[in-house]
Amino acid sequence: MGAVPVRRHQDVRWLPDARRVITKPFLPGEEVFPDGRSRIEVVVRRILAMAEGQVATTLRQTLEGFEYRHRDLDAMLLANLALVADRVELPEKMSEARKRLIGAYFTHEYSIEAAALGNPSMVVGPDQSGLRADEIRFVMSLRAIGEGHISSIEFRTGVVGPGANITLDQPSRFASTGARGSAVYDRAFFETKLRDLGALNELALQVLADVDPHFTLTDLEERLRSLIEELPNSESPGIEDSVALETSHVLHWLASSNYHVEFEPSGNISERVIFPGGPTESRGMEDVRLVRFVHDDGRVVYYGSYTAFDGHQILPQLLETTDFVTFRVATLGGACAQNKGIALFPRKLNGHFVALGRHDNVNNFLMTSPDVRVWRETEIIQEPERPWELTQLGNCGSPIETDAGWLVITHGVGPFRRYTLGALLLDLDDPSKVIGHLKEPLLEPTANEREGYVPNVVYSCGSMLHGHDLVLPFGFADVGASVATIDLRDLLGQLTSG
């Protein structure tokens, strides 16, 4: 049989827009000048020395240049003023204009998608109000790449209508990173993750033994502080100060990698940017694989597994939300929580969470677990065998349930590191069994998709069904993203034809 017919929607494209910016604290290097002052202190003293009229003029000119680019610039300036106040002593009495000007000098803009916008994942959105019966509103995640190749997570929305016609919602000109807060931590998970890291030593066990089964960052810090203060008089001379410091660092590192982010519920979803916040993701949050997960009791939760990168190693992490307003971010544990490309099935099978993974960076694996955040059991289900996937392969998002089996879009890497998309069909009751495998690629980079930051690549992180149509969003050349639609009957026909 020939290739599966694919319809590319050339008019549906997401491309990077350098005008979409967020604000970040700008705290210059902490070098110390000969008189003992830090660089931050020097800048603050210069601002404090300005005449009040000059302060007012400089602030007015600054606001004229930046206020229209941010929804609540005043709050951002005051927040960064507070960061400065934590580092240097400020006068108790200052004019409101001077306070905001200090905040402005220690603020900078970051263009979140100046380099690329791609690797999309699409799910049926939580709000389907106001639509006809033959329409579906989707939420799409995108990997945005900015200065320094730092990746963050953005969102877009739109509607898929009859005939697989796609209408995009206009994105907001504003962008916000929301309010970040500490999570409530689970002691058993902390022990599991520390064991995975080889960091579950005597001191860590002592700390965790004295906190509640569910504890906060404040609880952890108080116990660490009191325990380290006791060390010089401890009856455990085998615990060295260096071990105590390293254990404290690892516990803080793990706690900081688990947090939540909350956005204004009234804002446009396209304004919400999840920017790296924990140490595990300090150099980027890559390739979210969203899934609309239905629990056994009917409760719907959106999970998004993604790759965290700190500049040296990659780790899988998990987003969790019910409304795309509040997000929980958590690390994943277990021997199989390795490498890139974990994709959850949309429901439990036989009482267990099930996921696809690629923890050896080459093959596709099936993983099962009673806990969505801890993965230990795995088996290989696919190895490279087609010419276009011989280097390595992986999944392109969560499996899609069909009457014929679990449909899995895959990616393969062939000659010249060329990425193409394929497809598998897994048994509905036993997804470790592959019952269909496309002989030819489903999607290959065309002439107008191969040139870019990373040439010769098409890639997807998650598709969805609309009637008999598979709606397959894909990134191209690490530049932008588009959508293809495929008749599900044609695709399943090829996968089941033997």
**Which one of 77, 106, 135 terminates a domain?**
106
Residues 135, 176, single domain; the answer is yes
Token pair of 451 as six digits: 């040139």
In a domain, 121, yes or no: yes
% pLDDT > 70, the chain: 95
Residues 358, 225, single domain; the answer is no
In a domain, 28, yes or no: no
Q: What is the pLDDT of residue 252?
A: 85
Q: In Å, how far are 163, 218, 303, 322, 483 from 470, measured between CA atoms?
A: 11, 47, 20, 24, 10
Task: Provide the domain count of the chain.
Answer: 3
Residues 61, 81, single domain; the answer is yes
Residues 163, 281, single domain; the answer is yes
What average pLDDT does the segment 346-362 reach? 95
Token pair of 170 as six digits: 């206009």
Residues 227, 271, single domain; the answer is no
Q: Is the pLDDT of residue 185 over 60?
A: yes
In a domain, 2, yes or no: no
β-partners of residue 140 are 122, 156
Residues 380, 433, single domain; the answer is yes
Q: Is the pLDDT of residue 268 over 70?
A: yes
Q: What is the pLDDT of residue 277?
A: 86
Q: Is the pLDDT of residue 420 over 70?
A: yes
Residues 188, 315, single domain; the answer is no
Residue 442 — pLDDT band, cuts 50, 70, 90?
A: very high
What pTM, to 2 d.p., does this model score?
0.92
**84, 98 Cβ separation under 8 angstroms:** no
Residue 1 — pLDDT band, cuts 50, 70, 90?
A: very low
Q: What is the pLDDT of residue 347?
A: 98
- CA gap 181, 259 in Å, rounded: 6
Residue 244 — pLDDT band, cuts 50, 70, 90?
A: confident
Q: In Å, how far are 155, 247, 360 from 198, measured between CA atoms?
A: 36, 11, 20
Q: Which residue has the higher pLDDT, 338 or 132?
A: 132
For 310-356, the DSSP string reads -SS-EEEEEEEESSSSEEEEEE-BSTT--SS--EE-SS-BTTBEEEE
CATH number at residue 156: 2.115.10.20
Residue 15 — pLDDT band, cuts 50, 70, 90?
A: very high
What average pLDDT does the segment 25-31 reach? 76
Residues 446, 362, single domain; the answer is yes
Q: What is the pLDDT of residue 136?
A: 97
What average pLDDT does the segment 110-122 reach? 96
Token pair of 121 as six digits: 């994942």
What average pLDDT does the segment 179-191 reach? 88
The parent domain of residue 70 ranges over: 33-106
List pLDDT tens digits, range 449-488. 999 989 999 999 999 999 999 999 999 999 999 999 999 9
Tell me how far the alpha carbon of residue 481 is from its chain's centroid: 17
In a domain, 27, yes or no: no
In a domain, 24, yes or no: no
Residues 61, 162, single domain; the answer is no
Q: Is the pLDDT of residue 307 over 70?
A: yes
Q: Minimal CA–CA distance to 58: which of 110, 102, 88, 23?
A: 102
Q: Is the pLDDT of residue 39 over 80?
A: yes
Residues 393, 468, single domain; the answer is yes
Q: Is the pLDDT of residue 269 over 50?
A: yes
In a domain, 120, yes or no: yes
Residues 140, 273, single domain; the answer is yes
Residues 6+ apart with CB under 8 A from 411: 389, 393, 394, 395, 396, 419, 420, 421, 422, 459, 460
List pLDDT tens digits, range 380-407. 999 999 999 999 999 999 999 999 999 9
Residue 232 — pLDDT band, cuts 50, 70, 90?
A: low
Token pair of 438 as six digits: 């496309």
Tell me how far the alpha carbon of residue 178 is from its chain's centroid: 14
Q: What is the pLDDT of residue 254?
A: 87
Residues 54, 79, single domain; the answer is yes
In a domain, 22, yes or no: no
**Which one of 256, 280, 309 terminates a domain?**
256
**Which one of 256, 284, 302 terminates a domain?**
256
Q: Is the pLDDT of residue 237 over 60?
A: no
In a domain, 363, yes or no: yes
Residue 45's Cβ-count burial label (10 Å; 0-12, 13-18, 19+) is: exposed
